[in-house]
Amino acid sequence: MAQETLAKNTENKAVIFDLDGTLLDTVPDICSYVNTALTHFGYPTVTIADVTRFIGNGARNLIIRSLGGDKPDSVVDEVLAFYNGVYNNGENKLTVVFDGIMPVLEELKKQGYKLVIMTNKPQRNTDGLYKRFFEKIGFDAVIGQSDKVKCKPDKTATVNVLNSLNVLPSNTYFIGDGETDVITAKNVGCKGIAVLWGYRTKEQLESAGATVFASNPQELFSLLSL
């Protein structure tokens, strides 16, 4: 349950980042691991274009969509467990940081922003990618989906992490490439920035309510005015 009392510190400031499609280009690896799971159970494989459309609402929804959306929960559970296993134990050789992201993170950290990753990727997968790519940056919180954390656009996890960091929503930017990021920012009262180097079009993001856009990571500096 979200904490009732919001942070009162008016000086702390934060930037919350989505992970897939915002900080990391993960679709090639996700597609590979999804297809490994589908093939193992005898289901047709999917394309990178399919996975690009399917991601954004958590691994379970990814698997449901990859299976065609008409399979019983028992089948989804089985394929999801296999997918998580191969993903967690995979080397993710195809995953890369988007060009220009690391200098942005380093500068924001230098300027004193609290940095948060808020993703619908399972926590264990998230932790592995964070350790590989971003541990040296030193994020203040890394939140993935788990039994205790609901997927975006539910606002509970975002409200809780801002409370723990003593940052007001009005002093927070929420940066992501998906509809769920746009809606979460609105639900929490953060300043939303939709990025256009990820997995959704500007039109899709506008349909979700986005009004501020960044075409490349460097543009974020001109949009972050706290």
Active-site positions read 18
Q: Read off the amino acid at residue 52.
A: T
The pair of three-digit structure tokens given for residue 148, joined into one six-digit string: 């205790």
From the list 182, 184, 209, the residue with the least C-alpha distance to 195 is: 182
| Cis peptide bond prior to 153, omega within 30° of 0 | yes
Whose tokens are 């958590």? That residue is 58
Q: Do the Cβ atoms of 196 and 213 come closer than 8 Å?
A: yes
Crossing angle, helix 156-165 and helix 179-188, to 10 degrees? 60
Q: In the chain, where does DSSP find H-type helix?
A: 27-40, 48-54, 59-66, 73-89, 101-110, 123-133, 156-165, 179-188, 202-207, 220-223
